[in-house]
């Protein structure tokens, strides 16, 4: 399990956009190596 927090300098819309559009595709590249079963 990974937990994270939003930096005060990043607004909620930008945080959400980054999480969906940039982090998720990047994370998918390493999902097998990290033995990820589920990504929410």
Global pTM? 0.63
Cβ within 8 Å of residue 28, ≥6 positions away: 39
Residue 22 lies in a domain: yes
> Residue 9 pLDDT more than 90?
yes
pLDDT at 37: 87
Q: Tell me how far apart the alpha carbons of residues 19 and 6 are, in angstroms, rounded to a whole number.
A: 11
Residue 5 lies in a domain: no
Residue 26 lies in a domain: yes
Residue 3 lies in a domain: no
pLDDT at 40: 78
> Residue 2 pLDDT more than 80?
no
Number of domains in the chain: 1
Give the structural domain span for 14.
10-34
Residue 16 lies in a domain: yes
């Amino acid at each position: 399990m990974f937990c994270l927090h939003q930096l005060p300098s990043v607004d909620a819309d930008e945080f959400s956009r980054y999480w969906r559009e940039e982090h998720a595709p990047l994370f998918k590249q390493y999902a097998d190596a990290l033995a990820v079963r589920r990504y929410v």
